[in-house]
Amino acid sequence: MKIIDIFKLQNKDKIEIAKSVFKDVYTNANYTLKPSERKKIKAYFKRLDKKEPVEYILKKANFYGRTFFINKNVLIPRVETENIIPHLIKFDSVIDIGTGSGAVGITVKKENQSINVLISDISIKAIYIARKNAQGMDIKIIHTDLTDKIPINEYKCIFANLPYISDMNALEESVKNYEPHIALDGGLDGIEIILRLIKELHTKKWKGTLLLEMDPQQIAIIKEKKEIIKDQFGYNRFIKINY
């Protein structure tokens, strides 16, 4: 199995399989490794033993069949999120709020170059990563909090995968210890920031379609008239609100 294939697995399986792949490279007589490469692989093993995600070790992640540069300043793109892409490319203009690595917005643009795409994040460190991934592409990139500084009336669709974790201690070790808490912690009920975005769009009298990724158990808390979209595993993962 190649390292790129590991990215397609669930988190709990990745570490042990990554160890197996690295061990094969290290011990296989057909590979001629330099001393520096052997040292690097040994360091990888130590990091994997501490449950550090493979993506952060290699500084790359797979999303929708493409490879993105990442580091610990952005969330690892999830395979569940891929299911929203076919819905987003139906629009001629899309904003990706809380973009992180830029995976969603960049994928939308790569799938259809004619779509007007803007990506944003509150984290300047995340914006750096997104810019690196979007290099050479016609994508607007803004460092801002939610819709501040964004000309939302120029766009028909907004997608947001905002922090929605209500109990950080309940997360698996590899997530809690390594992924950025600013992109995970959604406040007391996990939807504090989500509700703020919904309210902002009403206040600004925006007309368009909002697509949100959420914890399936939190969807019922949102009282807006909404359509539920499932992910590829059959879970209620996204909601669609028309303004």
Task: Using a pLDDT cut of 90, give the percent of the chain over it.
Answer: 63
**Helical pair 124-133 and 103-111, crossing angle rounded to 10 deg:** 30
Higher pLDDT, 238 or 10: 238
Give the integer Cα–Cα distance in Å for 222 and 219.
6
- pLDDT on residue 22: 67
Contact at 8 Å (CB) between 156 and 92?
Answer: yes
Domain boundaries along the sequence of the chain: 3-58, 72-242
Of 203, 202, 204, 215, which Cα lies nearest the Cα of 241? Answer: 202
- pLDDT on residue 166: 78
The DSSP output letter for 185 is B
Angle at 15 between CA 14 and CA 17, to 5 degrees: 65
- Count CB atoms within 10 A of the CB of residue 36: 7
Residue 30 has pLDDT above 90, yes or no: no
pLDDT band at 192 (very low <50, low <70, confident <90, very high): very high
- What is the overall mean pLDDT for the chain? 88
Distance of CA 14 to the CA centre of its chain: 17
**Overall fold of domain 72-242:** Rossmann fold (3.40.50)
Q: pTM for this structure?
A: 0.87
